[in-house]
Homo-oligomer: A and B are copies of this chain.
Amino acid sequence: MWSMTEEQSSRHRGRPRDLNIDTRVLEATRDLLEERGFEGTNVQSIAERSGEHASAIYRRWPSRIEIIEEAVFPGFSSVDVRPTGDLRRDLRRFTRAYLSAFGAPAARAAMPGLLATYQSAGRSGAPEAWLPVSARPQFLDILLAAPDDIVDSSVDPNDVYDVILGAILAKTLVPTVIERRRPVERLVDLTIRMLQFAPADLIR
């Protein structure tokens, strides 16, 4: 009975019948983030927008934070770049995909609120959360696929990944950096400079 009512309610809203509850909730969340920002995106407003009961939403996600994370970072599947061994080409695809995930309107709207949430979680002694998924493994795979004589093994690729993550945050959240509108290729250049063998003596 309940599921019939739900179906009728979805049909009523003109949504295709085959969309399941997860899809509807995540779509509604992205819409709300764009329209009302992080503060205006809570389980109540998500329930109203998606036409789902709050109780059904709470059965699937513990809080709005997990819904928002899943809505704006859908498993980083788009960043799942299959490495070819051509370092520049792979990094270019990786950086573009990463930037487009973080630069999407819903992701930009969500990010400051998520950062604030992770910070309070850390402060309150709870384990610090962070995105349920990360592009770090993909980045490491790209480096593994690159020829040995290009990537300097004395550089920790995790350090480079952290810098790229920061650069992408800056490119999507910091007005002075956004306004410079620098091509992605400049970040790829700098990434390669960080990774490749430095001149005989990296200045001390």
Interface on A for B, CB 8 Å cutoff?
37-38, 87-88, 108-109, 111-113, 115-116, 118-120, 122, 128-130, 134, 136, 150, 155-156, 158-160, 162-163, 165-171, 173-180, 182, 186-187, 189-190, 192-194, 196-199, 202-204
Rounded to whole Å, the gap between the CB of A142 and the closest CB of chain B is 13
Residue of B nearest to A127 (CB): B175
Complex Cα distance, B74 from A186, in Å, reads 31
Contact B203 A173 (CB under 8 A): no
Complex Cα distance, B128 from A108, in Å, reads 15
Contact A186 B118 (CB under 8 A): no
Rounded to whole Å, the gap between the CB of A176 and the closest CB of chain B is 5
Complex Cα distance, B175 from A155, in Å, reads 22
Of A38, A116, A189, most buried by chain B (CB within 10 Å of CB) is: A116
- Neighbouring B residues of A202 by C-beta, 8 Å: 189, 192-193, 196
**A112-B115, A122-B175, A166-B170 given; 12 more Cβ-contact pairs under 8 Å:** A37-B116, A88-B203, A112-B112, A112-B113, A128-B178, A128-B179, A155-B189, A158-B180, A159-B187, A162-B167, A163-B190, A192-B202
Complex Cα distance, B169 from A158, in Å, reads 16
- Neighbouring B residues of A87 by C-beta, 8 Å: 203
- Neighbouring B residues of A112 by C-beta, 8 Å: 112-113, 115-116, 119
- Neighbouring B residues of A136 by C-beta, 8 Å: 176
